[in-house]
Amino acid sequence: MSHTMLLAAESTSWIAKLLPGVADNPTRFYNAIRDTLLMVAWSGALMLIFGMILGVALTVTAKGGILQNRVVYEILDKLINILRSIPFVLLIVLLFDVSGAIMGTSSGVKGAIIPLVVGSAPFFARQVESALASIGGGVVEAAKAMGCGPTEIIFRVYLKEGAAAIARGATITIINLIGLTAMAGWVGAGGLGDYAVTWGHNYGKDDIIYVSVLAIIVIVCIIQLIGSLIAKKNTH
């Protein structure tokens, strides 16, 4: 047996002793990471789209906004408050049939997408609203004086000037979304949450729980790093 093969065998043996639960079926751990990343990617992308639309709509229809509309603002404001007040576990149950109708299933990664989007988009909408509200009214008035219409003001003033704050808000929301995926896993959505509970807690294998937590921490740190870099790049 070659020296390289001996080292590989010793390394595998060391991992098996330190993390027996994980080493027993490493594929299960890799699949859990994959499912978590898939849930974050798909629901995160949809959350950013819908949250951005809602946040911009709140800003422009608010009192003194470029498209002031009290009725629209009140409806959106109350809808967002209601959705944010519902605990995520209950939201999954409430959207059980909706997920089944739209995604074709109410379980697994696909079944978790709708609840994850509905649970996180309102939070991001408030982050966007707060970011855009910090833009000075003088900048908007200057754009109006230059003949810019509502669409131009939204893209050239609001989104451009608020890019850094929006990036920070998106980072916070996506990190929060990772926590929601763990909760979704607890009720059958898969991912690291499901892996930790089903194979770690239920079977008394603490190493699986520790590794799952560590994996989530690593994912969060990477997302925070990316978000900070984007925010820094867009800071004027």
Segment 48-90, tens digit of pLDDT: 999 999 999 999 999 888 899 999 999 999 999 999 999 888 8
Of the pLDDT bands very low, low, confident and very high (cuts 50, 70, 90), residue 8 is very low
Q: What are the structure tokens assigned to 84, written together?
A: 């944010």
Residue 119, Cβ neighbours under 10 Å: how many? 26
User: 106: which residues sit within 8 A by CB, 6+ positions away?
Assistant: 96, 97, 99, 100
Q: What are the structure tokens assigned to 204, written together?
A: 């008394």
Segment 193-216, tens digit of pLDDT: 889 988 888 888 889 999 999 999
Closest CA to 66 of 155, 126, 3: 155
The runs of H, that is alpha helices, within 86-205 are 88-94, 96-103, 108-133, 137-145, 150-152, 159-161, 163-184, 191-195
Q: What is the pTM for the complete model shown?
A: 0.87
Residue 54, Cβ neighbours under 10 Å: how many? 22
CB 173 within 8 A of CB 120: yes
Segment 113-169, tens digit of pLDDT: 999 999 999 999 999 999 998 887 788 888 888 888 888 988 888 888 899 999 999
Tell me how far CA of residue 127 lies from CA of 23, 47, 164, 190, in angstroms.
41, 12, 12, 28
Q: What are the structure tokens assigned to 216, written together?
A: 């989530």
Q: What are the structure tokens assigned to 178, written together?
A: 């990772």
Chain length of the chain: 236
Q: Tell the residue number behind the tokens 């951005």, with chain if given.
A: 52
Q: What is the pLDDT of residue 201?
A: 84
DSSP state of 134: T
User: 49: which residues sit within 8 A by CB, 6+ positions away?
Assistant: none
Closest CA to 33 of 217, 173, 170: 217
Of the pLDDT bands very low, low, confident and very high (cuts 50, 70, 90), residue 25 is confident
Give the start-to-end residue ranges of the domains of the chain. Answer: 27-233
Topology classification of domain 27-233? MetI-like fold (1.10.3720)
Give the end-to-end CA distance of the chain in Å, rounded to a whole number.
Answer: 60
Q: State whether residue 105 is helix, strand or coil.
A: coil
| Buried b / exposed e along 132-144 (16+ C-beta atoms within 10 A) | beebeeeebeebe
Alpha-carbon gap, residue 52 to 68, rounded angstroms = 18
Residues 190-195 have a mean pLDDT of 88
Alpha-carbon gap, residue 133 to 116, rounded angstroms = 26
